[in-house]
Amino acid sequence: MKKFAAATLRVVLMTSVALMVYVKLFEHRLIYFPERELTGSPAGPFEDVFFEAVDGTRLHGWWLPAPDARGALILSHGNAGNIGHRAPVGEFLREEFGINVLMYDYRGYGRSEGSPTEEGTYSDIRGAYAYVRSRGFQPESVVLMGQSLGTAVTVDLAANEKTGAVILEAAFTSVPAMGRTLWWSLPIRGMITTKYDSLSKIARIRSPIAMIHATGDALIPFAMGRELFEAASAPKQFFRVNADVHEGAILGLGLEDLQRLKDFLWAPRV
């Protein structure tokens, strides 16, 4: 019996060590899933635009102009695919909110140069913000929206720059926290160097924050989204979507909640 227990323990330890080594060696491949080919595009008018991240990396995006726009929205997407997979969301935002939309790809995604890293994506959204500002938009007329991984990128910028409002869809607290939900028995905090620690930053955001999360999100737990929301400063609102979706939960908002979101975003602030 003791020999069996010792053998079992060795197997468990060897498996754990092997998985830890795998995570260390292939961490970025576990976080980023870029695709180069753009398989979709907006149905309405749009411009191909190129601009630089703050470190000089050349990035690609789409500018979706809206007639009589109230401002500009920067959409930062999740960790897989590229902007081609989010064209319907961009169109929805333009039509429903009457706002210009900048959809852009992080480095290594779509037609953007480079390879993705945490610091690189922070540099990318700062480049997108600078690009929008260069088109004549003041900070208070710029709305940031992040989806999944893009919520952490958005939080990092909003914690350091003035913006009109922030929308976070399918937000998570940090990468190590997400790792613990996937590999609960391993010392994941010490294994992963990529942090995307929104929980430690979100209270510094002074812009209004709207958070949207689907109850049946199979990737980022609904409870994790609520945890991040509780750490945020007011003014803030949480929108619950009763659906089994991850990105694109905003498309599942009912008419009443959609109007509530619009009223919250455009409410006069003192």
By residue range, what is the domain housing residue 2? 1-31
* pLDDT attached to residue 266: 86
36 belongs to a structural domain: no
Mean pLDDT by 10 residues, the chain (270 residues): 53 47 58 95 96 98 96 98 97 97 98 97 98 97 98 98 97 90 58 91 98 96 97 97 95 96 83
Tell me, yes or no, whether 187 and 250 share the same domain: yes
Label the pairing between strands 236-241 and 209-214: parallel
Tell whether 38 is covered by a domain: no
Asked about 246 being catalytic, the answer comes back as: yes
Domain count for the chain: 2
Q: Are residues 7 and 117 in the same domain?
A: no
Nearest in space to 103 (alpha carbons), one of 121, 82, 117, 118 = 82
Whether residue 101 lies inside any domain: the answer is yes
The answer to whether 185 is a known catalytic residue is: no
User: What does the buried/exposed string (b/e) look like for 8-38 if buried means 16 or more CB atoms within 10 Å of the residue's CB?
Assistant: eeeeeeeeeeeebeebeeebeeebbebeeeb
Q: What's the confidence (pLDDT) of residue 46? A: 98
Active-site entry in 148, 174, 198, 207: 148
- Residue 244's pLDDT is 95
CA 47 to mean position of chain CA atoms? 23
Contact 61, 102 (CB under 8 A): yes
Q: What interhelical angle do 175-182 and 222-231 show, nearest 10?
A: 150
**138 and 22 in a common domain:** no
**Strands 47-52 and 58-64: what pairing?**
antiparallel
Is residue 3 located within the same domain as residue 105?
Answer: no
> Catalytic pick from 60, 85, 213, 246?
246
**Which of the following is catalytic: 105, 124, 156, 217?**
217
Domain at 164, CATH number = 3.40.50.1820
Domain annotation covers residue 232: yes
**pLDDT recorded at residue 111:** 98
